[in-house]
Every structure is written in C-alpha cells, then in structure tokens.
Amino acid sequence: MAFLSIISLVLAAVAAGEPLLGKRQALNQSIPATTTLNGSATINPTAFAMPFVLNVEDMWDLLIGPVSSASITTTVSATPVPSSSLIPPPPLYYSPFPTGQQYPMESKNESWSFPKDFWWGVAGAAFQIEGAVKAEGRGPSVWDALGRVTGFESNNYTADITNNNYYMYKQDIARIAALSVKAYSFSISWSRIMPFGSGPVNEEAIAHYNDVINTCLEYGVIPMATLYHWDTPLAIQDTYGGWLSENIVNDFVEYARVAFGRFGDRVQYWFTVNEPIVFCDQYPLPAQYFKNFTIPYQHQPYYCGQNVLLAHSQAYGLGKQMMPNSTISYKNNGGYKVPLTNSTADAQAVQRAWDFNEGWFSDPIFLTGDYNDNVKTYVSTFLRPFTTAEKQTILGSADIYAHDAYTAQFYFAPDAGIEACLADTTNPLYPACANTSYTYSAADGNWLIGAAADPLAPWLHKATDWLPAFLHYLADTWAGDKPLAVTEFGFAEPFEADKTLLPDILFDPVRSSYFHDYMRAMLVAMSEGVNIAGCLAWSFYDNFEWASGFSVRFGMQYVNFTEDTLPRYYKASFFEYKSAFDIYQEK
C-alpha cells in the first residue's frame, strides 16, 4: 500500500508536467540500474527503504495512454523491386539558355563532376518513420507525449504507426538500393536503446539496429547514424527537464558509448545531434508542457544550447577514442542569409542572424571553443562560463561541417533599429535583433525569394540560385580545411497532401526542379573549389512531419498511409535526384 501511493504520487506529478524538485530523486531511485526490462526487477538495495519498480509498460500506461499498432507487426522480408517501378518519368522541360544568376544549361557541363567517393544519399529520422512505438521495450519520448497534447498536433495525428519502418526497413533499404543510392542516414531512437534515457540497455533495440545496419551493408548502402533527432526520452524530460539540465550531458555520453560500442564496427559516419538551433529554440516545449520553472522562459534555449555543446563535444571525444577511423559531426541548419537592402543596418542584421543561429554552435565548435561576442554578451548574464577544459573539448569536435541547407531568406534591422532593440528585452526580436522576410524589398517589387513550398512549411522556398554563395560562406566562415556535407535538403511540394490521384502525386514538378537546380548549384560551387564530401536528400519517403503530422509531405516516395500495408511508390523527384549522379559522378 505504502509504495503504491509513492508511485502514484511521483507519476501523477510527472504526468502533470510539474517541476520535480524533491521528487526527482524518487523516480531516479525507482529505476535501479539492476531493473530488468520485463519488469521483474532485482531490487537495488541502496534505493528506497520501500522499493518499487517503474517499468516501461507503466510509463506507457501512466504517461501516454493507449497507442495504435500497425497491421504488420513482424519484420517483413524485402521483395524485389519490380523493374516496372524503375522506369524514370519523362524529363521536365528546362530552359536551354541562361536566364539569370548561375542558371545552368541543360546539356552536360564538362566543367562539373562529383568525385567517385562523393556520398549521395537520403535521410530519415526514427520518430518520423519507425512507428511500433511500444514494441520490443521502447520507452516513450517527448514526441509520444506531445502528440497527445490537445491542439498541438495537426489533426490529432500520432506517429504510433507512421511508415512502420520498424518492421518494413528491409523493404525500405531495398527500394533505396534499387535506385543506386550510396548512403542511408537514419537516426537511432534513444528511448529504444535506453527506455529511461539512462540505465538499462534494451537488447531487442540493439538487435533491431544491428539488422538495419547489416541490411544496408548487404545492399551496398553506407549506413550513417544520428544519435539524437529530437526524440528525448520522456523519463529524462520529466525528471530533470531534458536538455535544460546539465544532467543530460552524462546521460547522452553514456548513450553514445553504447551506440558507438555496439554499432561502431560497421558504422563509420555519425551525427551526434540533429539541428540544435531548432530543438533548442523550441524550448520551452509548447506552453511549458514540460516545465523547469527555475529557468526563465527566454533563457531556456540557451541552457539547452550549452548542454548540447557539452554533450556533443564529449560524445565526439569518446567516439574518436573508440572509433579512430570514424567521421563524427553534428548537424547544423539554417538558410542562406541575404541582406534585404544595401544598408549598413541590414548588413549588421545579417551578421547578428548568423551569430545567433549557425554561429551559436559553429563558432565554439569550429573557431574558438566559446560563443561569439554577440551571443556571449547575452548569455553571460545567466549561463556559467565554459571552463578552459570544456572549451578545449568543444573546439574541433567535428570532422566535417554538416549543414541542413534547404533555402535562403532576407534579413533586415528591426523597425526600432538594432540599438533600440538591444536596449529593450521586450522587443519580439530580442536578443538576435534581426528581422526576416521571404520577399524582396518593396523597391524590388515584393516578389518571393523563390517558389514557395507547402503553406505548412512557410520557411521553405526554392532558392537554389543562392546555393553557391551559401556553400562558399559556410566553407570560408567555419569549415576551414574540413569538408562540407549537405546533410539535409529537400522540398515540400505545395498541397501534395490534398491530392487524391496516385499519378498526380507521383509527378511532383516543383520538388523535381528543386533537386535538379540544387544539384547543379552544388556542382557550380564544387567547380569553384568548395570541398563537399556528400549530400543527403530529405526525405526518402513521406513521413510524420512533427507538429504537422501527415499534412505536409517531403518524400521522394509516396506512402499511402490509409492502406494497412503502407505501400511505397517512387515520385518523379527521386529519379531527378538520382539523374544528377548518373550524369555527373565519376565512375
């Protein structure tokens, strides 16, 4: 009786998202390292006087509630891809004459080539594709919970099933290999490997990812693994606030140790965290659903960022020690930043935007071991400084400059001016104090910077003309003598989710033209000397697009989510992407 009421006290607090000061210790100790995943625990003698066990099933029942299962719940073998599926579409018409800035001719340009070892591939992320959320011992992540916050998720979608990749990965990898794709970048679900985020390791998850990796190798596809693509284990979010707490540093490094140790004999390419600018800027998570009341709202992104820098750099150091032949980085993101006008203020706004976005992480990792002056001026009022040893660990903790480089946008000074913004913490643009727009200035006619993607991806425009300048900027500013890699790029065909006819869906002209022009813009930059090791298109099929669920589509394959078997079909854009390598990659 007594221990049952302690369990309900702790779990009620966790479920309500209340701060767990004082209660944190209880939940932690309720999961002694000796707990087994089937719930029959060996009680940790140093834990509670009245010990109890929180097992994975309890977490699901008490923190998440019922989840849906797919109709397919065992691993499916690959069936050969029919040759009828491999016929490319008729080509889109491309202008045969140069129409503007760096606009390529359609005939093969003999000045361009991708080297033989250039890795071109496709990317996806565990939570967006796997489904099978409760299968084989996986613990819940923040995203399992967010999907159930009223009003957060478009159409109340969940990723309980999504692409059912957890059981259908063999077919998925076979379909990638059938188009000669060289690399497949996937993420590992932390809460599958460690259902509580720390502590016991789930051997069924290890076996699963072992088979994903081995299947890639059987098909001659290079596996690339990301440790963290936004799916923080719910247990560590609820106990200490996830990335808001320095506790996560050690937990992340221990998780990395398990992944490197178990998979590093076959996986050479590793990404620690995906797009910290995005997931840290989204702290606090919606309406402070997961709270840490002791950190003011506006400061939370920077606590997250600081803990990311510590966790990433320590994991990098460990990875290089365990796998000397590995290539390890983290994935940055952001569009090219173009000044709206030639004014000095807009030039300053552009610099501040780089500093508070890419530079927030890239300056410490690639340049100095510490924040740039603009970020430091702000964060030093509340964050502790890095120690000398931490700065040394952070500096140089990436082997390539990996950037998710989708688009470009204009930047300009706030209405009040930069100085007034900096003096006013209530300005909505504080502390970066850089405003942004997707349209040219009024003097230039207010045209969009490029064709808009789906309205549910309002940040994304086809701005491939700017890509050569963008890649030069990344190389010159941060990468130095390390190669660049474009680790995500892709396009959400406008209104694709509203289409009902299969042939209409498979013919995706804006996405196709995005990939066509993107690859040629990359070739321009490479012909001008920018060193690029590889690129990964997002995404190899339609999937669960976070808060937008299935309402917006980034796939180069269509997936019919209303059919039990979730059939996959290549879209025209996949052939367009592949054709750039058929034409330009050295054999």
The residues binding ligand NAG (CB under 6 A) are 19-21, 24-25, 28-29, 36, 38, 40, 104-105, 109, 111-112, 150, 155-156, 240-241, 244-245, 247, 265-268, 292, 294-295, 303, 323, 325, 341-342, 414-415, 427-429, 435, 444, 500, 502, 505, 524, 527, 560, 562-563
| Assigned token pair, 274 | 């995906």
Q: Tokens 């940040």 — which residue?
A: 459
Smallest separation, CB 161 to ligand NAG (Å) = 14
Smallest separation, CB 229 to ligand NAG (Å) = 21
Smallest separation, CB 367 to ligand NAG (Å) = 26
Burial class (CB in 10 A: 0-12, 13-18, 19+), 355: buried
513: enclosing H helix or E strand = helix 509-527
Burial of 378-411, coded b for 16+ CB within 10 Å and e otherwise, reads bbeeebeebeeebbebbbebbbbbbbbbbbbbbb
Closer residue to ligand NAG in complex, CB, 303/554? 303
What is the rounded distance in angstroms from the CA atom of residue 428 to the CA atom of residue 416?
11
Choose among 551, 558, 587: nearest CA to 573.
558
Closer residue to ligand NAG in complex, CB, 201/367? 201
What is the rounded distance in angstroms from the CA atom of residue 466 to the CA atom of residue 477?
16
Helices (H), 147-274: 165-177, 190-193, 203-218, 234-240, 247-263
Closer residue to ligand NAG in complex, CB, 427/477? 427
What is the rounded distance in angstroms from the CA atom of residue 571 to the CA atom of residue 557?
5
Closer residue to ligand NAG in complex, CB, 83/342? 342
Smallest separation, CB 171 to ligand NAG (Å) = 18
| Assigned token pair, 547 | 């808060």
Smallest separation, CB 109 to ligand NAG (Å) = 4
Give one DSSP letter per residue of 58-125, joined into a string.
Answer: HHIIIII------S--SPPPP-PPPGGGGPPPPPPP--SS--STTPPPSS--TT--B-TT-EEEEE--
Q: Are 462 and 334 in contact (CB under 8 A)?
A: no
Pick the catalytic residue from 488, 496, 545, 576.
488
Q: Is 18 a residue of the active site?
A: no
Q: Tokens 């990792």 — which residue?
A: 365
The pairing of beta strand 183-187 with beta strand 119-123:
parallel
Closer residue to ligand NAG in complex, CB, 368/448? 448
Q: Is 545 a residue of the active site?
A: no
Choose among 477, 346, 304, 300: nearest CA to 403.
477
Smallest separation, CB 382 to ligand NAG (Å) = 9
Give one DSSP letter per residue of 543-556, joined into a string.
Answer: ---GGGTTSS---S
Pick the catalytic residue from 275, 493, 496, 576.
275
Closer residue to ligand NAG in complex, CB, 478/581? 581
Closer residue to ligand NAG in complex, CB, 247/512? 247
Smallest separation, CB 126 to ligand NAG (Å) = 20
Q: Which residues are catalytic?
A: 275, 488
